[in-house]
Structure 1
């Protein structure tokens, strides 16, 4: 009989190919986002397997997943920037940056590479499948417990802003790992852990704005930038700064909330 971890892995394999197929059909931002979420869950599995098996047995699979994830990330970040500009009605800046053309080009490249991505993911399955099958059923639970303890210890400290993003990754790994050890089936809802779900979402929203800020800073550093674009970017930076300050307050508020041990199952 398959263990919860093996069932979780099988579902990830099914979903990641279904999501990739949906991206191929629709090229929608939602489908792309869903695919990246599945790849993040796959990365959690790889992170766990690295704690069990020699790294050289996992290295190629991790590199292949990262290559698909990173290429999808380029497209996702362009979509993120466009959505932010449209949300704040900065149509002129969006046009000046040529975002629609950049987005169409990135979509075209990603869609062209889908056959390559399918082959890469099949190689990942060929590597990981046998390892998942031979993994002792107790080890996934030990991994989850280790993450739980690390999260508890970090919550006792005053996390710096520089640590937020990595801390979010750890929370996501822990929430993923719970599904493969503590829950019968695959329908566990993150709403059972509202505090941690809210915290990781708040950090994610903050980090999205950091990505946009980094893009603006890099663009403004270019010597060839014209005066009109510079003015538009400066105005956008002010709006962005206000949003960043708001998101930072949200994260800090959540980090300062007392967390009961019972919330970490």
Structure 2
């Protein structure tokens, strides 16, 4: 029963199904796939998807690791700081996206006001309206919202690192950097690989965050493959091509999953 929608999407990808053109019905073979690949915006959307996914996950991991290391220290009000850092993650995506859109507005946004006030900008800048900065701006906001997930996961991993081992290494003359790269980071490998792999998939198929902030604009500068699927289905009403692109993404995700699974299984056997 749970597989029915998935099988329906795969089936529809091989049939003409355009609600605006009832005359185009029947078996399409690979025509829907060919039309998707020949779309003038496909390569740009694919490139945006790769950039959006890799930069987001890399930023989330680095910021999450830094904050986890900081929160793992024996400092005052540590519990308070641990509670504060989770706030971006619990904020609904729609609320976070709309709030940042208002904050980045060139006319009344607080971000532009502060940057102009301190002299970093001469005048307000439309961060979400310029093709050169729109995607990077959305990536920045996505990192802000998602890094707490990495913080919590890595902080849990840091709790398992033996303090006796770290103290022994320090006594033997190992510096902070040496202890981090030789002891701490290797023990975080399992949790790191898991959360990075999961978030690569989550980010690649993310639709709502970009849609709330830019709707794929300006001029398709932030359009990713999930947004392109939405345009096919909900704007062009071409469910055949929407299903074809969705099936292509599903196939790619399955290949990545199988590669990771086989690699993990091989290491476990060793």
Q: Which structure has the larger Rg?
A: 2
TM-score, normalisation: structure 2: 0.35
Ranked by relative contact order (alpha carbons within 8 Å, sequence separation 6 or more), the top structure is 2
TM value normalised by structure 1: 0.35
